[in-house]
Structure 1
Amino acid sequence: MNAAALLTELRAAVGEAQVLQGEACAPFELDWRKRWPGKALAVVRPGSTEEVAAAVRACATHGASLVPQGGNTGLVGGGVPDASGQQVLLSLQRLNRVREIDNANLTLTAEAGCILQTIQDAAEAQGLLFPLSLAAEGSCTIGGNLSTNAGGTQVLRYGNARELCLGLEVVTATGEVWQGLSGLRKDNTGYDLRDLFIGSEGTLGIITAATLKLHPQPLAQMTALAACPTLEAAVSLLSLARARAGSGLTGFEVMNAFSLALVRKHLPQLRQPLAESPWTVLLEISDSESVAHARSLFEGLLEAALDAGTITDAAVAESQAQSKTFWHLRESIPLAQSEEGLNIKHDIALPVSAIPAFVAQTDAALARQFPGVRMVDFGHLGDGNLHYNVQAPEGVAPGEFLKANEAAVNAIVYDQVGRFGGSISAEHGIGQLKREELAARKDPVALHLMRQVKKALDPQGLFNPNRVL
Structure 2
Amino acid sequence: MLNPADEHFVATLAQSLPEGTIRAPEPRHLEEPRSRWAGLGGCVALPRSTAEVASVVRACQAARVGIVPWGGGTGLVGGQVMAEGPAPVILSLERMKAVRGIWPSENVLIAEAGAKLAEVRAAADGAGRMFPLSLASEGTCSIGGNLATNAGGVNVLRWGNARDLCLGVEAVLADGSILGGLKRLRKDNTGYDLRNLLIGSEGTLGIITAASLRLVAPPPVTGAALMVVEGPEQALELLALAEALAPGCVSAFELIHRTGPDFLAETMPDLRQPFAEPPEWLVLVELGLPHGLSAAEMLEDLFGQGAEAGLVSDGLIAQSESQRADFWNLRENIPEANRLIGAISSHDVALPLSELPGFIDEAGQALAAMGPFRINCFGHLGDGNLHYNVFPPKGAARADFAGQAYAIKELVHDIVHARGGSVSAEHGLGRAKTGDLARYGDPARVAAMRTIKAALDPAGILNPGAVLV
* Range into which the TM-score falls when normalised by the shorter chain: over 0.9
Displacement of 1:412: 0.9
Matched, 1:18 2:21: yes
Match of 1:359 in 2: 360
Displacement of 1:149: 0.3
Displacement of 1:409: 0.4
Matched, 1:87 2:100: no
Q: Is the contact made by 1:25 and 1:40 (CA closer than 8 Å) also made in structure 2? A: no
CA distance in 1, matches of 2:366, 2:343: 21
CA distance in 2, matches of 1:298, 1:25: 48
Match of 1:197 in 2: 198
Q: Tell me the secondary structure at the aligned position of residue 128 of structure 1.
A: coil
Aligned amino acid, residue 18 of structure 1: T
Q: Is the contact made by 2:152 and 2:160 (CA closer than 8 Å) also made in structure 1? A: yes
Match of 1:288 in 2: 290
Q: How many residues align?
A: 464
Displacement of 1:5: 4.2
CA distance in 1, matches of 2:334, 2:395: 20
Q: Tell me the secondary structure at the aligned position of residue 356 of structure 1.
A: helix
CA distance in 2, matches of 1:394, 1:31: 25
Matched, 1:378 2:378: yes
RMSD value, Cα: 1.3
Displacement of 1:83: 4.0
Match of 1:137 in 2: 138
Aligned amino acid, residue 263 of structure 1: L
Q: Is the contact made by 1:10 and 1:44 (CA closer than 8 Å) also made in structure 2? A: no
Q: Tell me the secondary structure at the aligned position of residue 312 of structure 1.
A: strand
Match of 2:413 in 1: 414
Q: Tell me the secondary structure at the aligned position of residue 72 of structure 1.
A: coil
Unaligned runs of 5+ in 1: none
- Where do 1:337-348 residues align within 5 Å? 337-348=338-349
Of Structure 1 and Structure 2, which has the larger fraction of its residues in helix? 1
Q: Is the contact made by 1:37 and 1:83 (CA closer than 8 Å) also made in structure 2? A: no
Q: Deviations over 1:368-394 (max 9, x none)?
A: 122x11100000000000000000123
Q: Is the contact made by 2:104 and 2:128 (CA closer than 8 Å) also made in structure 1? A: no
Displacement of 1:4: 4.0
CA distance in 2, matches of 1:134, 1:186: 28
Aligned amino acid, residue 208 of structure 1: T
Q: Is the contact made by 1:81 and 1:89 (CA closer than 8 Å) also made in structure 2? A: no
- Where do 1:210-229 residues align within 5 Å? 210-229=211-230
Deviates more, 1:300-309 or 1:442-451: 300-309
Match of 1:425 in 2: 424
Q: Is the contact made by 1:129 and 1:216 (CA closer than 8 Å) also made in structure 2? A: yes
- Where do 1:128-207 residues align within 5 Å? 128-207=129-208
Aligned amino acid, residue 117 of structure 2: L
Q: Is the contact made by 1:39 and 1:81 (CA closer than 8 Å) also made in structure 2? A: yes
Q: Tell me the secondary structure at the aligned position of residue 101 of structure 1.
A: strand
Q: Tell me the secondary structure at the aligned position of residue 348 of structure 1.
A: strand
Match of 1:3 in 2: 6
Aligned amino acid, residue 320 of structure 1: E
Q: Deviations over 1:143-202 (max 9, x none)?
A: 000000000000000000000000000000010100000111011110100000000000
TM-score between both structures, scaled by the size of structure 2: 0.97
Deviates more, 1:157-166 or 1:314-323: 314-323
Q: Is the contact made by 1:173 and 1:457 (CA closer than 8 Å) also made in structure 2? A: yes
Q: Is the contact made by 2:82 and 2:465 (CA closer than 8 Å) also made in structure 1? A: no
Aligned amino acid, residue 441 of structure 1: Y
Q: Is the contact made by 2:151 and 2:426 (CA closer than 8 Å) also made in structure 1? A: yes
Q: Tell me the secondary structure at the aligned position of residue 334 of structure 1.
A: helix
Deviates more, 1:162-171 or 1:308-317: 308-317
CA distance in 2, matches of 1:355, 1:447: 26
Aligned amino acid, residue 374 of structure 1: R
Q: Is the contact made by 2:99 and 2:109 (CA closer than 8 Å) also made in structure 1? A: yes
Displacement of 1:451: 0.2
Q: Deviations over 1:264-320 (max 9, x none)?
A: 221122222234211110000001223x43332222111111222211111111111
Aligned amino acid, residue 158 of structure 2: R
Match of 2:29 in 1: 28
Matched, 1:389 2:389: yes
Match of 1:47 in 2: 48
Q: Tell me the secondary structure at the aligned position of residue 47 of structure 1.
A: coil
CA distance in 2, matches of 1:13, 1:182: 31
Q: Is the contact made by 2:296 and 2:317 (CA closer than 8 Å) also made in structure 1? A: no
Q: Tell me the secondary structure at the aligned position of residue 129 of structure 1.
A: coil
Match of 2:236 in 1: 235
Q: Tell me the secondary structure at the aligned position of residue 437 of structure 1.
A: helix
Matched, 1:277 2:276: no
Q: Tell me the secondary structure at the aligned position of residue 211 of structure 1.
A: strand
CA distance in 1, matches of 2:12, 2:303: 63
CA distance in 2, matches of 1:228, 1:17: 56
Match of 2:434 in 1: 435
Q: Tell me the secondary structure at the aligned position of residue 26 of structure 2.
A: helix
Displacement of 1:87: 0.6
Displacement of 1:71: 0.4
Q: Deviations over 1:29-76 (max 9, x none)?
A: 111111110221001110100000000001111110000010000000
CA distance in 1, matches of 2:18, 2:11: 10
CA distance in 1, matches of 2:328, 2:100: 30
Match of 1:399 in 2: 399
Q: Tell me the secondary structure at the aligned position of residue 412 of structure 1.
A: helix
Q: Tell me the secondary structure at the aligned position of residue 246 of structure 2.
A: helix
Match of 1:451 in 2: 450
- Where do 1:236-251 residues align within 5 Å? 236-251=237-252
CA distance in 1, matches of 2:417, 2:87: 37
Q: Tell me the secondary structure at the aligned position of residue 247 of structure 1.
A: coil
CA distance in 2, matches of 1:466, 1:154: 31
Match of 2:307 in 1: 306
Q: Tell me the secondary structure at the aligned position of residue 94 of structure 2.
A: coil
Q: Is the contact made by 1:13 and 1:51 (CA closer than 8 Å) also made in structure 2? A: no
Displacement of 1:339: 1.5
Sort the Cα spacing of 1:13 and 1:122 in 2 relative to 1 into closer, same or farther, 3 A. farther
Q: Is the contact made by 1:75 and 1:428 (CA closer than 8 Å) also made in structure 2? A: yes
Q: Is the contact made by 2:99 and 2:120 (CA closer than 8 Å) also made in structure 1? A: yes
Q: Is the contact made by 1:220 and 1:287 (CA closer than 8 Å) also made in structure 2? A: yes
Displacement of 1:342: 3.6
Match of 1:327 in 2: 328
TM-score between both structures, scaled by the size of structure 1: 0.97
CA distance in 1, matches of 2:320, 2:367: 41
CA distance in 2, matches of 1:411, 1:85: 29
Aligned amino acid, residue 352 of structure 1: L
% identical aligned pairs: 45
CA distance in 2, matches of 1:13, 1:298: 60
